[in-house]
């Protein structure tokens, strides 16, 4: 692919690209239908990073907001149990179940996090979010090791969901469902010999889970629990992930999404300026489709909404023209973050 032909942001094409995913789920992503909320998150928040959230009509914004609220799981009517509360990932699985199967109707941490981010991005006031119930839903998913399961119905327990739980607690401004000490201990135990951070203790260091761990420590004001040696080792491990773009692990190919995962990790550690912005930018643009829109993980491969959003977010971190600033810890724009802060101030005044 000719770098010279791909050096500028195909802004208009990317807007159209995200809009398509908000109107129809292509057959190539049909297997992801049960996690449709995440695809909507990449599209809505991608439009926001592009500075074009206003391209969504009021009607479409309202439809998306109503759809998200439709996926909220409410407390059990009979006994008031809130352990299943949160947001589901798709209207496909939002069905009424008989009493014998009712335990399968429960929220999912990743869908709850991305659902809340979308509501903030769309300007919703979160007034219909059952904040108390969501906090109890988070609390029910923390394990004795300190990490979190994704859902009550059974799923993996790892660093990704520690991050989602931290983001939910931060957004709702309520940490009563999140044991910070246990989660911090889990993160520190998941740091490997090379100072990268893994999904779980004694596994391989990974750029994505390193981001989840560092963002959680930042959101919980626990970054000071890292020793100077650990912090410097982390910076070194992250900086060595740059080839031209960034890779997620040693001896792996570079991938567009790590321009955000690794870039945001370095931003949290105040070390992103130590990377080569030009090489990072050049690689991300090699994965851009200037005709249809979108970014892919590797040059000359199919684009997808996740790599498109994370490619744009990674470019935003290095100050690319035409993109709004992204808050690295929550992975939303500063515009949406300021809306959240205004809401939290209102909640504080009401209490």
pLDDT tens string for the chain (351 positions)? 344 445 799 999 999 999 999 988 888 888 888 899 999 999 999 999 999 998 899 999 999 999 999 999 999 888 889 999 999 999 887 767 666 666 678 999 999 999 999 999 999 999 999 999 999 999 999 999 999 999 998 788 899 999 999 999 999 999 999 999 999 999 999 999 999 999 999 999 999 999 999 999 999 999 999 999 999 999 999 999 999 999 999 999 999 999 999 999 999 999 999 999 999 999 999 999 999 999 999 999 999 999 999 999 999 999 999 999 999 999 999 999 999 999 999 999 997
Q: How many domains does the chain have?
A: 1
283, 226, 305, 344: which is closest to 1 by C-alpha? 283
d(CA 337, CA 229) in angstroms, rounded, equals: 32
- pLDDT of res. 101: 63
- pLDDT of res. 102: 64
- pLDDT of res. 34: 86
Contacting residues for 4 by C-beta, under 8 A, at least 6 apart: none
Range of the domain at 322: 3-350
- pLDDT of res. 1: 39
The predicted model scores a pTM of: 0.96
Contacting residues for 151 by C-beta, under 8 A, at least 6 apart: 86, 106, 107, 108, 109, 141
Distance of CA 248 to the CA centre of its chain: 16
- pLDDT of res. 100: 61
For the CA atoms of the chain, what is the radius of gyration? 20
Residue 254 pairs in a beta bridge with 247
- pLDDT of res. 153: 82
- pLDDT of res. 302: 96
- pLDDT of res. 3: 44
Contacting residues for 266 by C-beta, under 8 A, at least 6 apart: 235, 238, 239, 272, 274, 275
Strands 326-327 and 157-158 turn out to be unpaired
d(CA 28, CA 67) in angstroms, rounded, equals: 22
276, 274, 245, 273: which is closest to 261 by C-alpha? 245
Asked if 129 contacts 61 with a C-beta cutoff of 8 angstroms, the reply is no
Instruction: Mark out the alpha helices in 74-225 (DSSP H runs).
Output: 109-121, 131-139, 159-172, 180-189, 207-219
Please tell me whether residue 163 adopts helix, strand or coil conformation: helix
Residue 164 sits in a domain whose CATH number is: 1.50.10.20
Crossing angle of helices 305-317 and 277-286, in 10° steps, is 160
Please tell me whether residue 72 adopts helix, strand or coil conformation: strand
d(CA 56, CA 62) in angstroms, rounded, equals: 10
139, 261, 147: which is closest to 209 by C-alpha? 261
Asked if 151 contacts 109 with a C-beta cutoff of 8 angstroms, the reply is yes
Task: Please count the residues of the chain.
Answer: 351
Count the alpha carbons within 13 Å of 92 in the hemisphere toward its beta carbon: 11
């Amino acid at each position: 692919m000719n770098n010279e032909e791909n050096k500028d942001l195909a802004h208009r094409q990317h807007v159209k690209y995200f809009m398509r995913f908000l109107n129809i789920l292509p057959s190539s992503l049909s297997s992801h239908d049960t996690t449709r909320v995440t695809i909507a998150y990449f599209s809505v928040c991608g439009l926001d990073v592009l500075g074009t959230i206003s391209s969504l009509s009021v009607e479409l914004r309202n439809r998306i907001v109503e759809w998200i609220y439709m996926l909220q799981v409410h407390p059990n009517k009979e006994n008031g149990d809130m352990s299943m509360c949160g947001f589901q990932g798709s209207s496909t699985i939002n069905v009424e179940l008989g009493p014998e199967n009712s335990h399968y109707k429960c929220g999912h941490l990743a869908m709850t996090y991305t659902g809340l981010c979308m509501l903030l991005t769309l300007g919703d006031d979160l007034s219909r979010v059952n904040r108390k119930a969501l906090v109890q839903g988070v609390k029910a998913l923390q394990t004795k090791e300190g990490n979190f399961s994704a859902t009550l119905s059974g799923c993996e327990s790892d660093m990704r969901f520690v991050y989602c739980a931290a983001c939910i607690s931060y957004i709702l401004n309520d940490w009563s469902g999140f044991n910070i000490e246990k989660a911090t201990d889990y993160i520190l135990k998941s740091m490997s010999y090379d100072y990268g951070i893994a999904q779980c203790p004694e596994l391989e260091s990974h750029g994505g889970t390193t981001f989840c761990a560092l963002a959680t420590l930042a959101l919980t004001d626990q970054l000071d629990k890292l020793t100077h040696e650990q912090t410097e080792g982390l910076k070194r491990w992250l900086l060595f992930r740059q080839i031209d773009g960034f890779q997620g692990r040693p001896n792996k190919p570079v991938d567009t999404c790590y321009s955000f995962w690794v870039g945001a990790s370095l931003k949290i550690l105040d070390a992103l300026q130590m990377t080569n912005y030009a090489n990072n930018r050049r690689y991300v643009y090699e994965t851009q489709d200037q005709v249809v829109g979108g970014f892919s993980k590797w040059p000359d491969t199919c684009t997808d909404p996740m790599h498109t959003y994370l490619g744009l977010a990674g470019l935003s971190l290095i100050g690319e023209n035409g993109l709004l600033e992204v808050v690295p810890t929550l992975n939303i724009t500063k515009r949406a973050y300021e809306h959240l802060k205004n809401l939290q101030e209102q909640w504080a005044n009401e209490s």
